[in-house]
Amino acid sequence: MDDFFEKWKTDKRFQAMVKLGIYILFVLVVSIYAFSINIDTNVNTNTTGEDNSTSIDKPISNDGVIKIPDNYKYKVNITIDDKEYKYTGEKKETQKTIIKDDKEYLFKDNEYYLKDNETYVKVTKEEVYDIINYSYLDLENINTYLSKATKNGDQYIVYLKDIILGEESDKYIIILLNNNDIDIDYTQLMKLFNNNVNNYKVKINIEE
C-alpha cells in the first residue's frame, strides 16, 4: 500500500492510469445497471402485451378498436328512415351463417350460398346484402374508420373527407362503442348517394 501512495505522489503517468481505470470501472458499472433495468422493463412490457392479446373479456373495446373474435354470434339492426331490417347469424372461424328474411345463407371459401332444404346453392354477395353494402357492416372496415376517428366524449367522429376521395366537407359519421354493441350513424354518408335519406343507422351486437 505504501508503494502505491509513493508512486501516486511521484509518478504522473501512474496517476493517469489509475484514474483511467477508475473511470472505465465506473462506466462499466453504470452500463450493466442500465442494461439490467432495460431488460426488466422489456419483460414487463411483453408480459402485459401478451395478457392483452390473449385475454378478450368483451369483443368491443372502448379504446377505439373492435376486437374481433374467431367465433361469435351477431345481430345487425338497420334503420333506414322509417323501415327496419335485420341480419343475424354466427361466425365460426372459416365460415359464417347469415339469416335474412327467414332465409339462411352460408359464406364459405369466399363464396355465398343459399340454403334450400339441405342443399346449398351459390348466390351473389349482392343478393345477400341487397339492403346495405356489406362494407358498412364489415368489422374490419369499421376498424379502419375508427383508426381515422376523432373521439368526442363517448363518440367517435369520422369525417367523410378522411374516408372518401375528393370530399371536402366537414360532414361525418358517428360511431359508438358500448360493451358488445356498435352503433353507427351513417346518415350523412348515405346522403351523398341519396339526398332523400333522412335517417340511416346500423346497430351491431356481438356475443362470443
pLDDT digits (tens, 9 = 90+) for 57-110: 455 655 678 999 999 999 999 999 999 999 999 999 899 999 999 999 999 999
Single pTM value for the model: 0.69
For the four alpha carbons of 93, 99, 104 and 105, in that order, the dihedral sign comes to negative
Q: Is residue 26 part of a domain?
A: yes
Whether 178 and 130 map to the same domain: the answer is yes
CA pair distance 56, 66, nearest whole angstrom: 11
Q: Give the pLDDT band (50/70/90) at residue 54.
A: very low
The owner of cell 354518408 is 189
- Structural domain for 93, as ranges: 71-207
Domain count of the fold of the chain: 2
Whether 46 and 95 map to the same domain: the answer is no
Query: Rounded to 5 degrees, what are φ and ψ at 120?
Result: -105, 120
